[in-house]
Amino acid sequence: WEKALELFGELREEKSGLEPDVVVYSALISACENGGQWEKALELFGELREEKSGLEPDVVVYSALISACENGGQWEKALEL
């Protein structure tokens, strides 16, 4: 998960014109899920919803986020989604 976040940071810093999409966020949230980082997964979800490009979370994003919360013992947060 740490390497995924590092690459994400590089993507956002570069002037390449590339913008993260829903697939990128889904992969990041899944990486956080696998790394037991439910708080970071929620943070990324918040960023996704705040993106000015009009991105909307899809079922894959929600599934990964719910799993991350579940794995972290945060079932209440999962229910809030």
Please, what is the average pLDDT of the chain?
Answer: 89
Largest separation between any pair of C-alpha atoms in the chain = 39
pTM for this predicted structure: 0.85
- pLDDT tier for residue 44 given thresholds of 50, 70 and 90: very high
Q: State residue 16's pLDDT score.
A: 67
Q: For 20-43, how does the pLDDT look when each residue is reduced to its tens digit (9 = 90+)?
A: 889 999 999 999 999 999 999 999
Could you tell me if 40 and 74 are in contact, meaning their C-beta atoms sit under 8 angstroms apart?
A: no
Of 28, 68, 67, the C-alpha closest to 48 is 28
**How much is the pLDDT for 49?**
87
Distance of alpha carbon 53 from alpha carbon 63, whole angstroms = 22
pLDDT recorded at residue 53: 66
Rg (C-alpha) for the chain, rounded Å, is 12
